[in-house]
Amino acid sequence: MTETAPRPAHKTFDVSAPALARVRSNRRITPLFSADVRHIVLDTSGIGYNYVEGQALGVVVPGTGSPGGLPRLKYYSIASSRSGDDGLGQSLSVCVKRVVEPEGTPSSSGSHYLCDLEEGSTVALVGPYGPTFPLPSDPATPLILAAAGTGIAPFRGLLAAMYRDDSWQGPVRLYHGVRTSAEALYRTELERYASQPHFQIRHAFSREGHAADGHPCRIHHLMASDAPDLLNLLLHHNARLYICGVRGLEDTVESALASSAGSLWPSLKNRLLAEGRLRVSTS
């Protein structure tokens, strides 16, 4: 495993002098008539924007200053490993969903700016920040990854690094919740890891499947059904639990585990937090 070395101290860019990256590609990864989600690859060669998987970046959205007159920033997880999608270490990728405002409401998210970026155009970056989701240095570490929608982005980068040279041995339990199977981002790529020992992926399609209680199937329903396995990994095998996506996901995931762990949960949760094994990024 070559990618688990301690993280080097990287230069961090701020709005006064952002790094200027060039758009290599901007590809829609969902079918028409579903949410518009883009996989955007930025060329970072020669600009000194170095990062590790699990970090996030800020994009300076032009022309729309915040009330204080400062440039507006939009934050995304980096979706590639530190080597970039092509393994050459000169690029990064992000996963961006176009936020569609109700008709007549002005755009406020900045997502249109990113989704409409043309190949060859320049983007101002700040950061990188984190990593919120550090790659464990021990390749035997079990990882439980819970992602909703584009919250899959940082885990895509982690998994690419973990499985680049087939040396990752730890069990991985990946849960990805999306509305429909058409919106299962990076599905083919992620399911390819199923050939790796100890990797399991489960999708929750909230508009297509139902949980036992009749509610739309969501990640926490799958995790509740797998709770004995997940708790065993957390209690006895030093597993990490990483959660990324919509706000509230951390609560539903916690309830799924807590209801199975019972009185063990409060002390287990405290232990996970104290040991940095429970990490959350939701918004």
Q: Would you say 98 or 238 has its CB closer to ligand NAD? A: 98
Measured from the CB of residue 165, what is the shortest distance to ligand NAD in angstroms?
Answer: 25
Measured from the CB of residue 169, what is the shortest distance to ligand NAD in angstroms?
Answer: 27
Measured from the CB of residue 236, what is the shortest distance to ligand NAD in angstroms?
Answer: 26
Q: Which residue is nearest to ligand NAD (CB)?
A: 149
**By the criterion CB under 6 A, which residues form the site for ligand NAD?**
76-77, 95, 97, 148-151, 153, 177-179, 206, 218-220, 244-246, 248-249, 252, 281, 283
Q: Does residue 170 sit in helix, strand or coil? A: coil
Q: Would you say 174 or 219 has its CB closer to ligand NAD? A: 219
Instruction: Mention every residue, 6+ apart, whose C-beta is less than 8 A from residue 142.
Output: 170, 171, 172, 173, 233, 237, 238, 239, 240
Measured from the CB of residue 174, what is the shortest distance to ligand NAD in angstroms?
Answer: 14
Q: Would you say 1 or 182 has its CB closer to ligand NAD? A: 182
Q: Would you say 97 or 240 has its CB closer to ligand NAD? A: 97
Backbone angles phi, psi at 155, to 5 degrees: -75, -30
| Angle ∠(221,225,228) on CA atoms, nearest 5 | 135
Q: Would you say 97 or 277 has its CB closer to ligand NAD? A: 97
Work out the burial of residue 75: count CB atoms within 10 Å of its CB; fewer than 13 is exposed, 13-18 middle, 19 or more buried: middle
Other Cβ atoms closer than 10 A to 226: 19
Instruction: Mention every residue, 6+ apart, whose C-beta is less than 8 A from residue 149.
Output: 97, 177, 178, 179, 183, 185, 245, 246
Would you call the peptide bond into 131 cis, given omega within 30 degrees of 0 as the criterion? Answer: yes
Q: Would you say 207 or 271 has its CB closer to ligand NAD? A: 207
Measured from the CB of residue 2, what is the shortest distance to ligand NAD in angstroms?
Answer: 25
Measured from the CB of residue 280, what is the shortest distance to ligand NAD in angstroms?
Answer: 10
CA distance 40 to 3: 23
